[in-house]
Amino acid sequence: MKKEHKDRLSQEEPGSERGLVMNIFLSKAVLDFFIAFGIVLGGAMLGGIGAVVSLQPPTQTMLDVADRIKIWALAAAVGGTIDPMRVIESNMLGGNLSPAIKQILYLVFAFLGAHMGSELVKWVCGKG
Lowest mean pLDDT segment, chosen from 2-6, 31-35, 105-109: 2-6
**Cα(first)–Cα(last) distance of the chain, in Å?**
55
Q: Are 47 and 65 in contact (CB under 8 A)?
A: yes
DSSP string, 98-115: HHHHHHHHHHHHHHHHHH
- The Cα–Cα gap between 87 and 108 comes to 15
- Maximum average pLDDT range among 4-8, 35-39, 91-95, 105-109: 35-39
Comparing 13 with 71, the larger pLDDT belongs to: 71
Angle at which helix 58-77 crosses helix 97-124, to 10 degrees, equals 170
Residue-wise pLDDT tens digits, 63-114: 999 999 998 998 888 887 667 777 777 777 777 767 778 888 989 999 999 9
Residues in the chain: 128
Predicted confidence at residue 70, as pLDDT, reads 92
Share of the chain above pLDDT 90, in %: 50
Q: How far from chain centre, in Å, is Cα 61?
A: 24
At 66 the three-state DSSP class reads helix
> For the chain, how long is the longest CA-to-CA vector?
66
At 128 the three-state DSSP class reads coil
Q: Are 70 and 114 in contact (CB under 8 A)?
A: yes
Write down the domain spans for the chain.
24-80+109-124
